[in-house]
Amino acid sequence: MKILVCVSKTPDTTSKIAFKDGNTRFDEAGVQWIINPHDEWFALVRAIELKEKDPSIAVHLITVGGPEAEPIIRKALALGGDEAIRINAESYDSYYTAAQIAAVAKDGGYDLVFTGKETIDFNGASVGAMLAELLDTPYISLATKFDLNGTTATISREIEGGEEVAEVALPVIVSCQKGVAEQRIPNMRGIMAARTKPLKVVEPAAAENLTEIVSFELPPAKAGVKLVDAGNVAELVRLLHEEAKAI
């Protein structure tokens, strides 16, 4: 059995956010890149857990990005992936990213594809669904539990007011969220082994970007707090009506 885990790089949450070229591009200078946490903590770790139960399972990693993404892929290999593929392209478009992954996955013979539920930079959550459409494969999103029995997967996911449990025959694409697995950190043995694990670079397939970023904007600065004396109800009402527009 072969599992493909989609991994993306995202800025560390402590990174200073700035833009350049007339606010049309994210300024990557000085940014510390990390594995998107939903990809790492849930999708990748669950794949590794399945491999630990069945050593015949192969866990492959895939990312779309330039050479700066390779340290991220190496960390994912250190956690327990067997080999990795980097598609040598940059894009902020979900369809383009999904199309690149699909082009590789079509010939990979994968029984299971895991993604994180979303990325923490753009909060994008559409790549998994697009990938399923391109591969004509069943898709289950927001999984909180994943069990495998032979070629049948049992997947739990949160729905409004409860939980839904689905059974599906492989192959299937699943986006994972909190509950599927617990966070791990690489150990020294894994870090050393990752240096020699295969990391193949492939050129992108022909695909178009369906969306483009016109500009970025920082959120407006928050106004200062105004304190109103508890006995001055009239002033409180005036502020709520005229400035806050709440009433």
pLDDT per residue over 30-50, tens digit each?
Answer: 888 999 999 999 999 999 999
DSSP 188: H
pLDDT per residue over 120-176, tens digit each?
Answer: 888 889 999 999 999 999 999 999 999 999 999 999 998 888 999 999 999 999 999
Residue 146 bridge partners (DSSP): 155
pTM of the model: 0.86
Q: 245 burial class (0-12, 13-18, 19+ CB within 10 angstroms)?
A: exposed
* Average of per-residue pLDDT values in the chain: 93
* Domains, the chain, with CATH or none: 2-219 (3.40.50.620)
Percent helix, strand and coil across the chain, each to the nearest 5? 30, 30, 45
Q: 158 burial class (0-12, 13-18, 19+ CB within 10 angstroms)?
A: middle
